[in-house]
Amino acid sequence: MGRLKTIGRRAFLVGSTAVVGGVAFGFYLYKKPVENPLLADLGSDEAALTPYVKIDAEGVTLITPRADKGQGAYSVQAAMIAEELDVELDRIRVDPGVPSPAYWNRALADEAVPFAATDQGAMATAARGTVGAVMKIMGMQVTGGSSTVADGFEKLRIAGAVARETLKAAAAQKTGVAVASLRSQGGAVILPDGTEIPYQELAADASRIEPVTEVVLRQPEQWRLIGKPMLRVDTVAKSTGTLDYGIDAKLDGMVHAAVVLNPRQGGVLSGYDASAAKDMRGVKKIVPVTGGVGVIADNTWRAFQAAAAVECDWGPAVFAPEMADHWAELEQAFDTDPDSRGRDEGDVENTLGQTPLTSEYRAPYLAHAPLEPINAVVLIKDGRVDVWTGTQVPRFTQNNVAAIAGVEPEQVHIHAQMMGGSFGHRLEDEVARRCTELAMEMKGVPVKLTFSREQDFSHDYLRPAAIARMRGAVEGGTVKALDLAVSAPSVLTSQMAERQGMPMPGPDSSISQALWDQPYGIENYRVTAHRAQNMAPVSSWRSVGASQNAFFHEGFLSELITAAGGDQLEQRIALCTDDVSRRVLETVGEMSDWGRELGPDRGRGVAFCMSFGTPVAEVVELTNTPDGIRIDNVFVATDVGRVIDPVNFENLVQGGVVFGLGHAMNCEITISDGGIEQTNFHEYEGMRLYQCPQITVKALEHNSRIRGIGEPPVPPAAPALASAIFDATGVRLREMPFNKFVDFL
Amino acid sequence: MRPVLIKVLLAVVMSLPLPALAEIAVPDGPKAGTVARKEGLEAWERMFAVVSHPRCANCHVGPSDRPMWSGESYGRTRPHGMNIRAGESRIGAETLPCATCHIGENSDVAHSAPAVADDWRLAPVEANWFGQSAQTICNQLRDPELNGDRHYTEIAEHLGHDVILHWAWDPGGTREPAPGTLEAHIEDILIWGAAGMPCPE
Amino acid sequence: MKLTVNGADYALDVEPEMPLLWVLRDELGITGPKYGCGIAQCGACTVHIDGMAVRSCSVEVGAVDGEVTTIEGLGTRESLHAVQAAWIEHQVAQCGYCQSGQIMAAASFLEMNSEPTDEDIDAAMSANLCRCGTYPRIRAAVKTAAAKLNGA
């Protein structure tokens, strides 16, 4: 027991350094150390020096609790620990660990408070601390909000340094050599005579001494890994087909399941007839699940076939049945009391005058559609539940599965799986819930549930459809007034309150995300958000509210700048109030040689958006060919303070641009009879390779805080494209997807 | 043809199952000169409804090497998605063989790639039907320079034994079949031919 | 029913209309080929039959009369195919779920067309969907692989 207590305190090292401020909700609880989850299964010769580093006879394992859905999270988390721990990335193992409050996400709190990312004032800082404390108490282990690097940058390096210094102290004690004379390199402590003692040989000793709490983090010029190109830990496996995703999980005796759910999303199952399906080959069981029917078979395809043969009687639609009704709901919401007024500066009403410029913009629903359909394996045996699934919310899933299985959350063991994309879909856990319902019918047998692509599409939780109504005035060649009103359903209410049971009182900042918090100094500037009701269930979609709001804000700003007779880039630079953002805008101008002659039938556009604290400016250049518009080039400048891995960084930025452009050009989800109409990629393509432009990326490092890059490149893509299309063709696009109005090559 | 292309053509053929015995016997039809021009033109009208139908015309794209997506099941008319180029080979051998997706058996799964027991391919460049007028297509069909030097009875024979053409009436999924039946279409070709292959003015 | 996959012979007891993909994944445990759409829209399931790329979700196993090669049989960690080596060199993968299919498509394409133009690459590789948007790196990796295969 003595040993457990000692190591228990070590967990505090990590927790305490991450804690800043300390307000509200009980100082004691807030400061109370969280239990180190690695201690539970530890062998006698193993040491868990922090919740992030585990050393056993096999070697060093780095715990990377933020989920990897393709963004390279495991690699960047491992790199941040390895930088200080002095281990090589190709010599360590990476493990996502188990769900634990020790892995709460503080950086996510930054997005949940009503202060702009550029606001470092006392009120904003205190508010972030308060929300952070709440998240810690709730054990919010969430991957989202582009927060993995922001949250881990100090925490994980400190974890590495604490482990390293404790190992060195153990080596000093063992050898009698002074700590100051010891070095560490390549997973070993090195004595002055060059003798190497591998960390594993020091693990048991290290666990018996007091940990070294005083650590000094290395300076950037001393870094071996951070900022230099690195080979992601998953690249080789992903290039040889040997990486197992959740859908590839193989367990002894496993059976395969499919579901057919009410196409009127959220509707009930009124009755069903499985007489044709039950005798089909390989079918083991057909049972009702929430909102539909599940088929358990010996093979996924047989389960799909049988599910299609079940005749179901579906309950009615639970929200407005037709798309026209949804647009009407959005329109009506403008007449309701605002959900928030994030910005109200100057005297908007009087400066707008009698004849303001007005515009209405629209954004459709969108699906996440990660290429790996959602899936889970659940095994219920002897009061214990094991879940293998790709998830961004392991703690929620643990609780939800426990409630269905009728066990305590501690009895639910989540085995986090690598994900074939997410874009926000794996912030939801409906597949784990449905699979648990099926596993309850097959206790002792592992049940794998794979959603067919059609079920995945038709039961996705969508990016909100939204409408913006905007007014503005220009004077003396510049923007004098900007009045933005937006109407959208609430992601927080739908996702957190309705599906996760976490009450979300107060305004939903995601409705006006990237509208109210942009670093523009417009004298008369107002942002009003309205909450639409009776819409389809909605969710966080890569870049959340910014994905549609940047199109609204930047699209209309472009119209105003055109009306003022100004240059799109120069005016944005002139209006910008944040030094870091201004440099990003200036840089994208230099990269694209803004203003040079483009030639006939060509056009360019620029857009800017700060989301999740990361400013991104993008320039799109295109050609209007006789066969349609061809996007030639995209230039991207951004600033995350510090780039961990420049290769992965460039890849993520390029991918974000493709994601933003592809959906703006080609994608919408529409509703009919209370259900989603699009069922597969033939009517929801995103972008394919032939439409992909050349994408040039430049990262600046002036941001005072380190920020994420998974989402921020998405929002500026649509408005930059719309602006370039206007430049080349004179057609002003105010609604996505653009292919309803113009042809693309 | 480049050697690489021969290699792939061979691969395409080899990896396909043997063609199903789906050929149909072609009847003799009326004797030449025994059918009135008016009757022949009526037959042509029915033929045109077939050849201009998306199930046929989408792959009769003339000098273009892009198959088309048009008709009810596609919403709006546009080139085949995915930037498909059938190339000079007309089977996609230069880049992506049609048979990468259009392989094996026809499927009833909605929106899946249809297939027949033969190479999926574009029609020859000369058979340029997509978006063309009845007059233009009719003149193509009776011009030996453009119809593969075929007598009208040989055109009918071609319909009888080329199974990719039969697919038009059995397209699978939720696709709308070409109008009428294969047998009626063959009969119309024979009537039209016997009337002297009349074309609309 | 018999099937040869990656050089190994298998005896199967399955319906002939079962798509090859599900035979590979659920009957044989070969999970490199991925399920993404089931209707030849995404290409994640791409394998080779006698060297030619096909969508295994759309081929009934009963119609297969050639040797099947999956990503696992194309090359291994220790003995990489030139296309796989190029994919690693350019670090193409993000989530990686489509990449087995992308690599199989590229390998078959370069076998047919060893000196592709940019236009050829855009035509050959646009039927494989990547939701993460790794296209700039796919283009670069295909060129690198072509150069390698040509002994450059």
pLDDT tens for A623-654 read: 999 999 999 999 999 999 999 999 999 999 99
Q: Are residues C26 and C43 in the same domain?
A: yes
Q: Are residues C84 and C140 in the same domain?
A: yes
Is residue A46 very low, low, confident or very high in pLDDT (cuts 50, 70, 90)? low
Q: Are residues C111 and C66 in the same domain?
A: no
Q: With both helix axes pointing from N to C terminus, report the angle between C135-149 and A646-666 in degrees, rounded to the nearest 10.
A: 120
pLDDT at A92: 86
Q: Are residues C136 and C85 in the same domain?
A: yes
A727 contact partners, CB below 8 Å, separation of at least 6: A603, A604, A605
Compute, in degrees rounded to 10, the torsion defined by CA atoms B42, B46, B52, B58.
-150
Q: Exposed, middle or buried, A332 (CB in 10 Å: 0-12/13-18/19+)?
A: middle
Task: Give the number of other CB atoms < 10 A from CB of residue A16.
Answer: 12
Considering all CA atoms of chain B, what is the largest pairwise distance in Å, rounded to the nearest integer? 52
What residues in C contact B13, CB-CB < 8 Å? none
Out of B103, B109, B110, name the one closest to residue C59 (CB). Answer: B103
* Residue of chain A with shortest Cα separation from C86: A239
CATH code, C121 = 1.10.150.120
Task: Give the number of other CB atoms < 10 A from CB of residue C71.
Answer: 29
- How much is the average pLDDT of A209-236? 90
State yes or no: pLDDT of C60 exceeds 50: yes
Q: Is the dihedral of CA C35, C40, C44, C47 positive or negative?
A: positive
pLDDT per residue as tens digits for the range B39-73: 999 999 999 999 999 999 999 999 999 999 999 87
Q: With both helix axes pointing from N to C terminus, report the angle between C82-89 and C135-149 in degrees, rounded to the nearest 10.
A: 140
B198 touches B41 (CB < 8 A):
yes
Q: Are residues C68 and C82 in the same domain?
A: no
Is residue A139 very low, low, confident or very high in pLDDT (cuts 50, 70, 90)? low
- How much is the average pLDDT of A430-445? 98
pLDDT per residue as tens digits for the range A574-623: 999 999 999 999 999 999 999 999 999 999 999 999 999 999 999 999 99
A545 or A9, higher pLDDT: A545
CA gap A524, A518 in Å, rounded:
14
Q: Are residues C65 and C96 in the same domain?
A: no
pLDDT per residue as tens digits for the range B13-26: 444 444 444 678 88
A172 or A14, higher pLDDT: A172
Is residue A22 very low, low, confident or very high in pLDDT (cuts 50, 70, 90)? very low
A304 contact partners, CB below 8 Å, separation of at least 6: A258, A452, C38
Q: Under an 8 A CB cutoff, do B83 and A685 touch?
A: no
pLDDT at A61: 86
Nearest to A660 by CA among A716, A603, A727, A743: A716
pLDDT at A42: 64
pLDDT at B3: 43
Residue where a domain stops, chosen among C73, C105, C128: C73
State yes or no: pLDDT of A21 exceeds 50: no
Window from A87-96, C5-14, C42-51, C104-113 with minimum mean pLDDT: A87-96
> Tokens 């995915």 appear where?
B82
pLDDT at B70: 93
pLDDT at A182: 97
pLDDT at B21: 43
Which 3 state secondary structure label does DSSP give A737?
coil
What residues in B contact A683, CB-CB < 8 Å? 75
What residues in A contact B83, CB-CB < 8 Å? 688-690
State yes or no: pLDDT of A24 exceeds 60: no
Residue where a domain stops, chosen among C73, C107, C127: C73
Q: Please report the domains of chain A, with CATH numbers, ordered by start residue.
A: 2-239 (3.30.365.10), 248-317+374-450 (3.30.365.10), 323-366+462-740 (3.30.365.10)
Q: What is the mean pLDDT of chain A?
A: 89
pLDDT at A121: 63
pLDDT at A639: 97
Query: Chain A residues with CB-CB distance to B under 8 A?
Result: 679-680, 682-683, 685, 688-690
Q: What is the DSSP letter of A379?
A: E
Tell me the residue range of the domain where C26 lies: 2-73
Q: Are residues C48 and C95 in the same domain?
A: no
- How much is the average pLDDT of A4-15? 27
C window 15-54, beta carbon within 8 A of A = 15, 18-19, 21-22, 25-27, 29, 31-39, 41-42, 44
- Where exactly are the structural domains of chain B? 33-194
CA gap A301, A308 in Å, rounded:
11
Is residue A8 very low, low, confident or very high in pLDDT (cuts 50, 70, 90)? very low
Q: Are residues C98 and C65 in the same domain?
A: no
State yes or no: pLDDT of A702 exceeds 90: yes
pLDDT at A148: 81
CA gap B54, B65 in Å, rounded:
16
Q: For residue A729, how many C-alpha atoms fall within 13 Å in the half-sphere facing its CB?
A: 21
ipTM of the complex: 0.98
Q: Are residues C64 and C92 in the same domain?
A: no
Considering all CA atoms of chain A, what is the largest pairwise distance in Å, rounded to the nearest integer? 85
State yes or no: pLDDT of B144 exceeds 90: yes
State yes or no: pLDDT of A733 exceeds 50: yes
Considering all CA atoms of chain C, what is the largest pairwise distance in Å, rounded to the nearest integer? 46
- Report the number of distinct structural domains present in chain C: 2
What residues in A contact C71, CB-CB < 8 Å? 240-241
pLDDT at A30: 29
CA gap A297, A257 in Å, rounded:
6
Q: Under an 8 A CB cutoff, do A680 and B83 touch?
A: no
- How much is the average pLDDT of C33-53? 97
- How much is the average pLDDT of A79-97? 90
Q: Under an 8 A CB cutoff, do C77 and A242 touch?
A: yes
CA gap A373, A246 in Å, rounded:
10
Percent of chain B topping pLDDT 90: 70
> Tokens 């709190």 appear where?
A109
Q: Are residues C66 and C99 in the same domain?
A: no
Percent of chain A topping pLDDT 70: 88
pLDDT at A206: 83
State yes or no: pLDDT of B127 exceeds 90: yes
B window 79-108, beta carbon within 8 A of C = 82-85, 87, 93-97, 99-101, 103-105, 107
pLDDT at B174: 86
pLDDT at A52: 85
pLDDT per residue as tens digits for the range A660-686: 999 999 999 999 999 999 999 999 989
pLDDT at A47: 63
A366 contact partners, CB below 8 Å, separation of at least 6: A462, A463, A541, A547, A663, A667, A668, A669
Compute, in degrees rounded to 10, the torsion defined by CA atoms A240, A241, A245, A249.
-120
What residues in A contact C127, CB-CB < 8 Å? 688
Is residue B107 very low, low, confident or very high in pLDDT (cuts 50, 70, 90)? confident
Q: Are residues C35 and C82 in the same domain?
A: no
Nearest to A620 by CA among A698, A713, A693, A568: A693
CA gap C131, A396 in Å, rounded:
26
